[in-house]
Structures are given as C-alpha cells and as structure tokens.
C-alpha cells in the first residue's frame, strides 16, 4: 500500500480561460509583444507586486484629490501600472512556460482582492464619491469574482469577462470617470444626497449584483441538468 502525505503536491490542471471582452484580441497581441521583450530578470511575482503598487497609487491619488484635483493624475498613472503588472504576471508565466497553477492562482487572485479593496476604498475616500456607494460597487465586483472562482471549480471554466467587458474595460471606464471628476465635481444632484458619480456607482453596482444572480442561477441549472 502506498501512503500519500497530505502535504504532497497534487498536479493542478488550470481551468479553461474564457475571455470574450471587446479588447481581448488586441490586448493579447500587446501582452505577447511585451512578454517577448521583457528582460530575463523580470519575474511574474515582481509583476504581481507591481500591479498591487499601481493599485496603491490609484488609491493615493483619489485621497490626495482633496488637496488638489491634479493628484488625480497619480490615479491615472496607477491604473496603467496596475494594468501592466496585473495583466502581464500570468501572461509572462505562460509565455516562458514556467506556470505554477496552484501557487499562481492563489497568490494572483489574493492580491487582486486586496487591490480592488484599495482602489474602491480610494474612490470612496475622494471628494466625489460616498464610501458606502463605492463599497457597494466592490461587493458587486467581488460577488462576480466569487462566481468566477466557483465556476473554475465546478465547471473547469475561468471566465474573465461578462457582457463583453473585463478588467481592462473596467479600468478604462474608471479612468474616464477620473478624468471628468474635476469637470463635474462632487456636488449632490436631483435633490438627493448623492453626487452624479454616486448615482453612476449605484447603477454599476446594481448591474454587477444582477449579473452575479443571473450567472449563478444559470450555472446551478446547468449543474442540475448534468446531475451533479
């Protein structure tokens, strides 16, 4: 009889990646071009850390915008750095064929969760957004992330986009919102206690939560039909 240690490493089969967002093809070409040209000393772990530092810059820019709107430029730069690190870490590992499916999956998405908290917390700490509204957006995003992680387990599919949108499209929306913040301002509108950006955030949060409910029901129905 062969004894297996509970700590022995099991071979992890990565789930099938499903990416149907609008910019997926163009972004993939850009990422492959960058992967081929990154210095050998650059590692996926370094890129993961860089992406997290980008998220910290995003948050800092929003919070410092209480002092001067020009600090929002720091947030814009942070989004670009976050995209660079977050999009390239896994891409570089696959390009160099040095994937560590269990380690990479765990670390990358753990860091992503903290990065989302930083970014959304920074938005909520700005003069333009209420913190409670921003956190509702984070709840919606993380619910969809939970659905993605569960689907990877029960279906073997890792969905990177919903409604033709993914993390890159979301960053672009947030960057566009950031650029118009000084123009629109944070004053309340329509006789409510909400700014125009708060109302936008409530719409986005509602869409994300609705997507979670719809996708969860569809997945449950599919699993029931399969008898599993």
CATH number of the domain located at residue range(s) 16-226 in this protein: 1.20.120.1760
> What per-residue confidence (pLDDT) applies to 9?
45
Q: What is the pTM of this model?
A: 0.89
Q: What is the pLDDT along the chain (228 residues), one digit of tens a residue?
A: 444 444 544 555 677 877 778 888 899 999 999 999 999 999 999 999 999 999 999 999 999 999 999 999 999 999 999 999 999 999 999 999 999 988 988 999 999 999 999 999 999 999 999 999 999 999 999 999 999 999 888 888 888 777 778 889 999 999 999 999 999 999 999 888 999 999 999 999 999 999 999 999 999 999 998 876
User: How buried is residue 200: exposed, middle or buried, by Cβ count under 10 Å (0-12/13-18/19+)?
Assistant: middle
Instruction: Give the chain's mean pLDDT.
Output: 90
In the chain, how long is the greatest CA-to-CA distance? 74
| pLDDT tens-digit map of 108-135 | 999 999 999 999 999 999 999 999 999 9
Q: In which region does residue 48 sit, left (phi positive, over 0), alpha (psi from -120 to 50) or beta (all else)?
A: alpha
Domains of the chain, residue spans: 16-226
Rounded to an integer, what distance in angstroms lies between the CA atom of residue 94 and that of residue 100?
A: 9
Rounded to an integer, what distance in angstroms lies between the CA atom of residue 132 and that of residue 122?
A: 12
DSSP structure string for 54-111? HHHHHHHHHHHTTT-GGGHHHHHHHHHHHHHHHHHHHHHHHHTT---HHHHHHHHHHH
> What per-residue confidence (pLDDT) applies to 177?
96
């Amino acid at each position: 009889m062969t004894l297996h240690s509970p700590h022995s490493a099991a071979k992890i089969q990565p789930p099938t990646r499903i990416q149907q967002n609008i910019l997926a093809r163009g972004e993939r070409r850009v990422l492959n071009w960058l992967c081929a040209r990154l210095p050998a000393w650059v590692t996926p772990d370094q890129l993961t850390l860089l992406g997290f530092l980008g998220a910290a810059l995003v948050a800092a820019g929003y919070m410092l915008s209480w002092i001067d709107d020009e600090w929002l430029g720091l947030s814009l730069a942070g989004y670009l750095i976050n995209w660079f690190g977050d999009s390239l870490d896994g891409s570089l590992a696959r390009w160099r064929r040095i994937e560590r499916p269990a380690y990479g999956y765990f670390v990358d998405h753990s860091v992503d969760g903290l990065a989302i908290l930083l970014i959304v917390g920074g938005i909520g700490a700005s003069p333009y957004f209420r913190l409670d509204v921003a956190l509702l957006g984070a709840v919606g995003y993380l619910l969809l992330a939970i659905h993605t992680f569960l689907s990877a387990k029960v279906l073997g599919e890792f969905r990177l986009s919903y409604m033709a949108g993914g993390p890159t499209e979301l960053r672009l929306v947030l960057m566009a919102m950031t650029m118009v913040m000084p123009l629109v301002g944070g004053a309340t509108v329509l006789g409510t206690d909400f700014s125009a950006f708060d109302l936008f955030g409530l719409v986005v949060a509602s869409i994300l939560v609705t997507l979670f409910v719809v996708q969860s029901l569809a997945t449950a129905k599919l699993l029931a039909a399969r008898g599993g």
